[in-house]
A and B are shown apart, each in its own frame.
Chain A
């Protein structure tokens, strides 16, 4: 399976284009490409340091957020009801090819 293309807007507003490999979560794709995503908990949906904003169209293609994920997001800086996700909870999917992801501010 080929990689997804990803556009990332960092906290300074700079744009990065990177490849998202099929065996990575979105968090791993961001972190392994040296973007400042702390992902303190390592991907267990237990902190909110991989918080990102998705565009509405991409957000709507995804399923419901788990109770664990939502609990952390609503307390996170800049929470958006229809845009915030923990990137560690997003597995690779062809439907997400070409999306733009914005890094949320840090707490």
Chain B
């Protein structure tokens, strides 16, 4: 890559957007990106489904990258030490990028509201509580894998990852999701609505209407859960609402947040597990012989192909990062997936190696906004990794059906939207 790379110093001189701007770095589109690599953009136009080549270049040449958008400049931070430091400093890198906060999504709040709202659902996601779902996750995983095994393959996303992640979060919330297609549509539309309100994304044109339909469905569900005195997370949120500790708006939106965050991110991580197995076929046998190694796989997967690509922040004061001064009030996107491949932290970081030390990876975030559902995601992926190793003799990507990627409409997650695989059973 280096032979095709032009150093930043050779890029066209930046045009300051206003007189007296203090040494602003050039915009992304003004940099000399390697041939064939589109400049990194605020909104994914289809070039960022698998953004790791961009990240590698950014860490090396533009660790604080300023990108232009019609609304405001956006600053992307890609090196491990810088991302980690920002995630540890929520008073400087605030999550409350939109004020007033338009939706009760935990990612949009700072303390004290973040603390208050997270406390409502936190106990349901601690490892002790999640462990109660292990048997159900395992049964469901076997149920969804069986038809793929019989057919010799399928779409790891539609046939396995979505049903597994959605049935799991549905059970936790006690929100029925018998119609996966409809729930997936509502969930995607809600994520799109969130992206439009909170991240200046384009939206789908129908997302507001669909989101309100989803909220209405959740309200009816919570009314029922309250009547039935359900001990699920949904029942708990319903009680907080009926006891006056949450408003109806907060209760519906928090329930939606748990549902959307609980399945979308995990779906992608599960699909990525299939992908990595296809790239390193020897791991199926290794984990079949040593199932305890599955947990090493899970942590390395979260480092190497974690789901969350962009964590949004706004600076509350001027701050220097990697020698670049970011002004107060700047919109920042921290790139944990880029940071996770920083070879200064993880030697040979672009290589998947379950024997490496993954301590400190940012695959489930870091700091006060660390992933609430991390124990649940870890459980679902662990069960899947063990199951694939136990049942599959081989797993390959279908050469006739290339991976299709999630478009960055919500500007948060990237990964496969469809990942077709061919599988063979073990000989045993």
Contacts and interface: CB of A to CB of B under 8 A. Distances in A.
B366 interface: yes
A31 B123 CA distance: 8
Contact of B370 (A40, A72, A75): A40
Interface string A13-49: 0000000000000000001101010111110101111
A107 interface: yes
Given A32-B126, A38-B118, 17 more contacts: A31-B123, A34-B123, A38-B115, A41-B367, A41-B370, A42-B364, A42-B374, A44-B366, A46-B87, A46-B88, A46-B366, A47-B368, A49-B115, A71-B88, A106-B111, A107-B112, A107-B115
B367 A107 contact: no
B369 interface: yes
Interface in A70-93: 71-72, 75
A44 B370 contact: yes
18 contacts: A31-B123, A34-B123, A36-B119, A40-B118, A40-B370, A41-B366, A41-B367, A42-B375, A44-B366, A44-B370, A46-B87, A46-B88, A68-B88, A106-B111, A106-B115, A107-B111, A107-B112, A107-B115
Nearest to B84: A46
B128 interface: yes
Interface residues of A, number: 20
B216 to A, nearest CB: 31
B128 A47 contact: no
Interface residues of B, number: 22
A38 B119 contact: yes
A38 B114 CA distance: 11
B289 interface: no
Contacts of A106: 111-112, 115
Nearest to B88: A46
B122 interface: yes
B120 to A, nearest CB: 11
B91 interface: yes
Given A38-B122, A72-B88, A46 B370 contact: yes
Contacts of A46: 87-88, 366-368, 370
**Chain A CB within 10 A, most for which of B91, B364, B367:** B367
Interface of A: 31-32, 34, 36, 38-42, 44, 46-49, 68, 71-72, 75, 106-107
Contact of B368 (A32, A36, A41): A41
Contacts of A47: 88, 90, 367-368, 370
A105 to B, nearest CB: 10
Nearest to B126: A31
A49 B366 contact: no
A47 B110 CA distance: 12
Interface string B77-100: 000000000011011000000000
Contacts of B115: 38, 49, 106-107
A98 to B, nearest CB: 24
A26 to B, nearest CB: 15
A81 B73 CA distance: 41
Contacts of B111: 106-107
Looking at A31, A38, A68, the one whose CB has the most chain B CB atoms below 10 A away is: A38
A12 B119 CA distance: 16
Contacts of A68: 88
Contacts of B374: 42
Contacts of A49: 115, 368
A103 to B, nearest CB: 13
Contacts of B375: 42
Contacts of A36: 119
Contacts of B122: 38-40
A42 to B, nearest CB: 6
A42 B112 contact: no
Contacts of B87: 46
Contacts of A42: 364, 370, 374-375
B258 to A, nearest CB: 15
List the 8 shortest-distance A-B pairs measured between CB atoms, nearest first: A47-B368, A41-B370, A107-B111, A46-B367, A40-B368, A46-B366, A47-B367, A106-B115
Nearest to B125: A42
